[in-house]
C-alpha cells in the first residue's frame, strides 16, 4: 500500500526521472547529432518539470492575488524555469548552428562517419597545419 502511495502520490517526480533518463540515453547513445540535441532537450525539460513540481503547494492556487485564495503555489521555481527555458533555447540554437557548420564541413551529421573521416585526416605528415586555411 505504501508502495502504491509512493508511486501514485508523487507521479510527477517519477515522470521527471523517466524523462531525464530517456533524454540522457538519447544524448549518449544516438549517432545522429540532431537526435543527440533532441535528447539533450528532453533531459533539460525533465529538470523544468522537477522545478515546477517543487513549486506546487497542497491546496494552493495560481499565485495571482485573489481574495478567495487560502494558499498560493510558490511562484519562484516557475520564474527560475523561465530562465532555464531561455538557457535551453540558446543552447539548442548554438548546437543547431554548429550542426549546420559540421554538415557543411563533413557532408554528414552521423557521428560514426565523422569520426572515421577525422582519423583519415590525421595520417598525413606531421604538422598538417595549413589544410583548413582560408
Partner 1 sequence: MNIVANLPVLVIIIPLISALLIPPIGRLNRTFSWYVAISATFLSFLISISLLDTVMANGRISYRLGAWEPPWGIEYVVDYLNSFVLVVVSFIAFIMTVYSKKSVEKEIERSKIPFFYSVYVLLVTGLLGMIITGDIFNLYVFIEISSLAGYTLVAMGKKRDALIASYNYLILGTIAATFILLGIGYLYMVTGSLNMGDLRERLPMLYHSKVVLTAFAFFTVGLSLKLALFPLHIWLPNVYTHAPSVVSAVMAATSTKVGAYVLLRILFSVFTVEFDLHSVPITKILLLLSVLAIIAGSVLAIAQTNIKRMLAYSSVGQIGYIVLGAALANQLAMTGSLLHILNHALMIGALFMVVGAIAYKTGIEEISGLKGMGKKMPLTMAAFTVGSLSMIGIPLTVGFVSKWYLALGALEAGMWYFIPVILVSSLLTAIYFWRIIESIYFGSAESETGHADYALVHNPHPVFGNRGDAPLGMLIPTLLLASLCIVFGIAAFIPVSVATQAAVMLLGAN
Contact set with partner 1 (CB under 8 A): 24, 27, 33, 36, 40, 43-44, 47, 50-51, 54, 76-77, 80, 83-84, 87, 90-91, 94-95, 98-99, 101-102, 105-106, 114, 118, 121, 126-127, 129-134
Q: Which three cell numbers stand for residue 94?
A: 548554438
* Residue closer to partner 1 (CB basis): 58 or 67: 58
- The least CB distance from residue 129 to partner 1, in Å, is 4
128 — phi, psi (to 5°)? -80, 55
Q: Say if residues 76 and 51 touch (Cβ distance below 8 Å).
A: no
Give which of 58, 57, 63, 64 is closest to 75, Cα–Cα: 63
If the CB atoms of residues 15 and 47 are measured against partner 1, the closer one turns out to be 47
Alpha-carbon gap, residue 81 to 37, rounded angstroms: 19
- Comparing CB distances to partner 1, the nearer of 69 and 80 is 80
Of 7 and 17, CB closest to partner 1: 17
Tell the smallest beta-carbon distance from residue 68 to partner 1 (Å): 25
C-alpha cell at 38: 533532441
Distance (Å, whole) CA 41 – CA 57: 27
Amino acid at each position: 500500500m505504501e508502495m502504491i502511495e509512493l508511486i501514485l502520490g508523487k507521479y510527477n517526480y517519477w515522470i521527471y526521472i523517466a524523462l531525464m533518463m530517456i533524454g540522457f540515453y538519447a544524448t549518449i547513445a544516438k549517432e545522429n547529432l540532431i537526435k543527440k540535441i533532441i535528447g539533450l532537450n528532453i533531459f533539460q525539460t525533465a529538470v523544468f518539470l522537477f522545478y515546477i513540481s517543487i513549486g506546487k503547494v497542497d491546496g494552493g492556487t495560481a499565485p495571482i492575488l485573489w481574495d478567495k485564495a487560502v494558499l498560493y503555489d510558490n511562484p519562484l521555481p516557475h520564474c527560475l524555469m523561465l530562465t532555464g527555458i531561455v538557457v535551453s533555447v540558446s543552447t539548442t540554437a548554438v548546437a543547431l548552428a554548429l550542426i549546420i557548420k559540421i554538415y557543411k564541413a563533413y557532408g554528414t551529421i552521423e557521428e560514426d562517419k565523422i569520426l572515421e573521416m577525422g582519423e583519415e585526416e590525421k595520417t598525413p605528415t606531421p604538422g598538417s597545419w595549413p589544410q583548413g586555411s582560408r
